[in-house]
Amino acid sequence: MRFALRLEFDGSGFCGWQEQSKTMEKKCPSLQMTLQKAFAKLLGTRKKIFVQGCGRTDAGVHAEDYVANVEIDEILLKKFKAEPRRLRLGLNSYLPPNLSAKEIVEAPADFHALNDVKSKTYEYRILIKRTKPALELGRVYWLPAEAKDRAFFDVELLKRQMKYFVGRKDFAAFANAGHSVKTTVRNVLSVECVEELRDRDRGRLISVFFTGEGFLKQQVRNMVGSLVAVATKKRGEDFIPRLLEASRGPATRIPSLFCAPPEGLFLTRVNYDRPIFPSEA
């Protein structure tokens, strides 16, 4: 039987989604291997239970709604009577506190969590706060400044710059160094920004949402890095257009200013061309 899983996790304790070598897994576990081991223990088998994810996430990146699929022999499911709810409860008992299965449902036999993806939405959270955010540490990109200091971080300028990323374009300048992908062309469907001005002690939270058919490794973090560079006046307003223009040249990465840290990035939505979970119907 094939099942679809909706997961949430704090990525700070993992080396990313992708399964690594045994040596690397001992140093820092992957999300994929952690799930596979949990399934094997739950089902009482030494056979590897392969879990297919909807994409790779970098070390330290979080997810509120990550989708995966797994195929399990019906014989191993007997004690659960093939009930997804019982399977979810059992699986969570073997998972660490920073990884949770929110939902497990029986999926169509041809459902593939990665190949069937139509679009994904990532949220990047930037916190402008005068003091270190102890309660949000590891879940935001902290910029130390007074929340009301508009001169330090011009959010209206950031919003005007976001338009340059929308559309089907060559994002070579925003690709991870040393990538091996055949093409760096990607289609970004939308970029939106929401600003929350809180009290002086809690700072100003700026969330930037990127929705696209697919993204290059570290593309979102590099795009955020360039937006921050312009919003803080470290680069001029022509910086992003020049990077995109340079992407049309030789197939090499043109260094952008910096890659925003992983702790501010969340995968918040994975879209398919058909409803997979009851909540989507």
Report pLDDT digits (tens) over 207-222: 999 999 999 999 999 9
Per-residue pLDDT at 239 exceeds 80:
yes
List all residues 6 or more positions away from 228 whose beta carbon is below 8 Å from its beta carbon: 126, 141, 143, 153, 158, 260
β-bridge mates for residue 207, sequence order: 125, 194
Q: What is the Cα–Cα distance from 169 to 186, expressed in whole angstroms? A: 6
**67/137 same-domain check:** no
Residue 275 domain flag: no
pTM here is 0.93
Residue 127 domain flag: yes
What pLDDT was estimated at residue 179? Answer: 67
Tokens of 132: 């270190």
**130/104 same-domain check:** no
Which CATH number does the domain housing residue 16 bear? 3.30.70.580
Structurally, the chain folds into a number of domains equal to: 2
What pLDDT was estimated at residue 26? Answer: 93
Per-residue pLDDT at 250 exceeds 60:
no
Residue 68 domain flag: yes
**17/45 same-domain check:** yes
**146/94 same-domain check:** no
Domain that holds residue 207: 119-269
**14/87 same-domain check:** yes
**59/13 same-domain check:** yes
What pLDDT was estimated at residue 190? Answer: 98
Dihedral, CA atoms, 107, 108, 111, 116, nearest 10 degrees? Answer: -100
Q: What is the Cα–Cα distance from 17 to 187, expressed in whole angstroms? A: 23
Residue 72 domain flag: yes
Look at residues 115, 139, 167 and tell me which one is the last residue of a structural domain: 115
Q: At what angle do helices 219-231 and 239-246 cross, to 10 degrees?
A: 150
Residues annotated as part of the active site: 58
**82/136 same-domain check:** no
**109/36 same-domain check:** yes
CB 220 within 8 A of CB 137: no
Mean local confidence (pLDDT), 46-54: 96
